[in-house]
A = this chain, B = another copy of it.
């Protein structure tokens, strides 16, 4: 489903596209648009011209595509394969801290072979959202010479594809992962030690996500501590990390520079986008988000962080 647009792609995002059935203590929502690429592209497209790389099945309805088109990101890299779209279902427990996966149906995602359109390959920014490290490597191989590459991962790949994951880590500028994943991957309880070990494996930056406790950016030259925006209510935490990372790299790509200041501002922007996302299911909140609401929360949040 290629679309022609004049402006060059500044940011390529590869990840999963799926239909999520999510239960929270309050509500159940079936077959909502989800997946790491959906959340990350939706967030990034607020800031920069973004191209999505992923796969859906022939059952992927026009309604879902219309949601993507509403965000305005490029879909030339989204493959449509005969079969069913990836599906995931899970339940969040009482305090929203823990989620249990009820079912995972890989469907067409099982055979996913990312293939980048020609005009994606020269993009300066690349986000390898959470998919198998072997696929992340395949995408890296297709890129010309990206200026800044971010990779996300998850426990599953630490357990099942560690060698490939380490190859990915060696080739990216920034690795992002959850607090518990950082501990699991390094065997270090204290985050600063975990980050130092990970920095030794190659990346110039390690971005550790701590959910409602914020995020920390560890770089060879320093550390940036970022609390989370304090929310009144979390309706659905699904996609928080992906919208955070998508907003982060989208903001970086929009600015074009990767200085320490740009990275810090991008973390603030990513936090704000993620804080909106969890206020509703699926991409519902981001679909309605206005520039005015976003700017107001950025200003409010900056004030909460000022010493």
A201: interface (CB < 8 Å): no
A232: interface (CB < 8 Å): yes
| Whole-angstrom CA separation of A140 from B188 in the bound complex | 46
User: Which chain A residues in 179-215 approach chain B with CB under 8 Å?
Assistant: 189-193, 210, 213-214
The size bracket of the interface on A is 20 to 34
Show 19 residue pairs from A and B whose CB-CB distance is below 8 angstroms, ordered by the A residue.
Answer: A95-B189, A190-B233, A190-B234, A191-B230, A193-B232, A213-B213, A214-B225, A216-B227, A223-B304, A224-B306, A225-B227, A225-B228, A225-B230, A225-B304, A225-B305, A226-B227, A227-B227, A264-B306, A302-B307
A160: interface (CB < 8 Å): no
Determine how close the nearest CB of chain B comes to the CB of A109; give it in whole angstroms.
34
A231: interface (CB < 8 Å): yes
User: Which chain A residues in 221-265 approach chain B with CB under 8 Å?
Assistant: 222-228, 230-234, 264-265
Contact status A214-B192, CB under 8 Å: no
| Whole-angstrom CA separation of A95 from B180 in the bound complex | 12
A260-303 vs B, Cβ < 8 Å mask (1 yes, 0 no): 00001100100000000000000000000000000000000011
| Whole-angstrom CA separation of A237 from B265 in the bound complex | 32
| Whole-angstrom CA separation of A207 from B305 in the bound complex | 15
Q: Considering the complex, give the chain B residue whose CB is closest to the CB of A208.
A: B230
Additional A-B contacts beyond A95-B189, A216-B227 (7; CB < 8 A): A190-B234, A193-B232, A213-B213, A222-B304, A223-B304, A224-B304, A225-B230
